[in-house]
Chain A
Amino acid sequence: MQIKFVKYPRFIAMGEVQLEKRFQDYLDGENKIEPKDWMPDAYRKTLIRQISQHAHSEVVGMLPEANWISRAPSLRRKVALLAKVQDEAGHGLYLYSAAETLGIDRSELVDDLLSGKAKYSSIFNYPTVSWADMGAIGWLVDGAAIANQVMLCRTSYGPYARAMVRICKEESFHQRQGYEIMLSLANGTAEQKQMAQDALNRWWWPSLMMFGPTDDLSPNSAQSMKWKIKRKSNDELRQEFIDKTVPQAEFLGLTVPDKDLKWNEEKQGYDYGEIDWEEFYNVVKGNGPCNKQRLADRVKAHEAGAWVREAANAYAAKEAKRKADKGQAA
């Protein structure tokens, strides 16, 4: 059944201004943009930047958790962690594919990551120093990511929105898994509880920073909202996350490391303390505890894999030729 009547390519003869107006009307009608539809160059560029950053974050994000696979304290936890990190590789793949629908090659995107030109989420530049970090990352980092990603399930670019639906399902599972690790630790020995509290202390503020600068300092936000790439502002998302997470911390019997955190009856949400934006900008700039290490690990894996990729390509070419020769002979 064909229910969609408005398709973009028909309007290709229009002038740029008219096209942009049609485009905006189309978005305002809550329609999804598909790869072959006309779109403003800036929209395409914004999406390529955002989707590839997101893909890079999934791939770099594998590293801090992979750091604990060999040391997971039970076989059940080891298997769950391994499967989780593998999911992230899968998310990286869907997202690179979504970016490729915008007319860019995955290898080009990866090169930009490795050269340091492209960014990834700064949260992964913090170290994972205890097993409790596997809990805190699942609970807080994936929790913050989900707040953002649930919104992105309704983003205006079709392939991105569809990738997000799939990713959100898996991320929710990861978050529960992370929370369950925290729960075991919080109900465990005094040392385990201390481990959990320490992880919360270290991951709380960086998790809040994941939503990006405050609305008044977020230069690209307005345009992204207009294009319906983004549906909620950074501060709105951050507030939602805090309101949802604080009771979870209370349930664990852990203390959120913010002395200014207080329920505000009037706004029906928590007031919270000042985020250390100086730290945020420094980590973004490359001065975080693990920026160099994370990138170096990715570069090392890529370079060490170069001969493997070449071999696979060379073999595929030989096979194709052998097949063709056989076809000719027949």
Chain B
Amino acid sequence: MNLDLKNYTLFLADNALILGQRLGEWCGHGPVLEQDIALTNISLDHLGQSRMLLQYAAKQVGNGATEDSLAFFRNEGEFRNLLITELPNNDWAYTLAKHFLFDTFNFFQYEFLMNSKDETIQAIARKAIKEIAYHAQFSAEWIIRMGDGTEESHQRVQNAIDELWMYTGEMFVADSSSEAMTKAAVAPDYALLKEQWQEKVSQVLEIATLVKPEEGWMQKGGREGKHTEHMGYILAEMQHLPRTYPTAKW
């Protein structure tokens, strides 16, 4: 087994899984039915991507591992998702800001992965890119709508961007597995993605009449399994049934 490839696949899978799980919390509680449906779609996209990636990771892990054993029976320290994906939804502004910052990163990441040297990742990326491009557009449009909407929406989304900013640095700092995958042309050079991301984010924030925060101190740890306090609760909820009845099939 190529440990770096497994870790990198899990990094991609876990980002999608935890985002999908979080977005699912909105279902039934959206500000208007049409947007409730839209967020559920995006949640379904992420979960679909995470399943393909977890199945690929399971193959690498072997020993009878499955998408479900990886989703439900790994401990917190074994999850490799970025911290921004596990943050709570709070309000509509915070959720969409979180997605905008991540989706923009994810778009450039997957644009590279469409030509990844790993064939499975390449195939998954080619399938997912349409969804991911739509996510980036959807969240960017909401940032503009809120930024250039009312005084209240402007303030809320500005606060959200400011609060979330320190979780963006981690996107561009590779761990050792990602680095190895970059060398093998399986993964993008994450430091290089930063420029494209900065440009797109600045452009959208400007149209939205929002202020781009100063660089500042950045949180990190997700890629190496060091998570926020929120992660434990996500897993407690998500994993509770399979762990309570470990021999059951559902």
In the assembly, what is the distance between CA of A78 and CA of B24, in Å?
Answer: 9
Whether B91 lies near A74 (C-beta < 8 A) is: no
Does B191 sit at the interface, judged by CB under 8 A? no
| Stretch of B107-115, B168-176, B241-249 with 4 or more beta carbons under 8 angstroms from chain A | B241-249
In the assembly, what is the distance between CA of A131 and CA of B48, in Å?
Answer: 21
Does A323 sit at the interface, judged by CB under 8 A? no
Known: A75-B71, A86-B37. Contact between A69 and B24, CB under 8 A?
Answer: yes
Of the listed residues B32, B41, B44, the one surrounded by the most CB atoms of chain A closer than 10 A to its CB is B32
Whether A307 lies near B150 (C-beta < 8 A) is: yes
Q: Tell me the A303-329 residues at the B interface (CB within 8 Å).
A: 304-312, 314-315, 318
Contact of A310 among B37, B40, B149 (CB under 8 A): B149
In the assembly, what is the distance between CA of A83 and CA of B24, in Å?
Answer: 10
In the assembly, what is the distance between CA of A111 and CA of B95, in Å?
Answer: 26
- Per-position 1/0 for A74-88, Cβ under 8 A of B: 111111001101100
In the assembly, what is the distance between CA of A59 and CA of B145, in Å?
Answer: 26
Q: Tell me the B16-49 residues at the A interface (CB within 8 Å).
A: 21, 24-25, 27-37, 40-41, 43-44, 47-48
Q: Is the interface of B mostly helix, strand, loop or mixed?
A: helix
**Count: A-B pairs, CB below 8 Å:** 139
User: Chain B interface: which size bin?
Assistant: 35 or more
Q: Tell me the A179-221 residues at the B interface (CB within 8 Å).
A: 181, 184-185, 188-189, 191-192
Least distance between B169 CB and chain A CB atoms (Å): 28
Does A90 sit at the interface, judged by CB under 8 A? yes
User: Chain B contacts of A74 at CB under 8 A?
Assistant: 68, 72, 242, 250
Contact of A308 among B28, B71, B92 (CB under 8 A): B92
7 more CB-based (< 8 A) A-B contacts, given A71-B238, A79-B48, A86-B36: A70-B25, A74-B72, A79-B44, A189-B248, A301-B31, A302-B31, A305-B32
Pairs A–B under 8 Å by Cβ, sample size 11: A69-B24, A70-B25, A74-B242, A86-B37, A86-B41, A89-B36, A192-B245, A301-B30, A307-B156, A308-B35, A315-B149
